[in-house]
Amino acid sequence: MEFTGKLRRMQWLAGDQRSASYPHCLQFYLQPPSENISLIEFENLAIDRVKLLKSVENLGVSYVKGTDQYQSKLENELRKLKFSYRENLEDEYEPRRRDHISHFILRLAYCQ
């Protein structure tokens, strides 16, 4: 009996393809997302993005931008809302995906 490790090799390739979608933590949002998502996920991503932007706005009023206290509060908000942050580079696909999709959802919602 011969084991080739095909499943493991396929999972490894899938991981590389996923990381190729979002290679950097800083996105420029040049291309809109092309995947299908459920209406519930669409709504949740929009709500989470609005909460994050509101938190950033409130932190900017309460703290001086760039200070350690501001940075730590902002990092806590990013973690709480599960948006992309530089902690686990192995598990960054989902937060970066959420960031990318939610950016375009709000861009669509607030366009005039």
Give the chain's domain count: 1
Mean pLDDT over each residue of the chain, to the nearest integer: 80
What angle is formed at CA 92 by the lines to CA 88 and CA 96, rounded to 5 degrees?
A: 145
pTM for the complete prediction?
0.72
Of 52, 38, 109, the C-alpha closest to 82 is: 52
Residue 63, domain extent: 6-109
Of 105, 60, 96, the C-alpha closest to 78 is: 96
1 within some domain: no
Q: If pLDDT is split at 50, 70 and 90, which confidence band does 44 have?
A: very high
41 within some domain: yes
| Cβ 48 vs Cβ 102: under 8 Å | yes
CA dist 38 → 6, 44, 96 (Å):
31, 10, 18
Give the CATH number of the domain where residue 42 resides: 1.20.930.80
The mean pLDDT of 15-36, rounded to a whole number, is 75
pLDDT of residue 30: 87
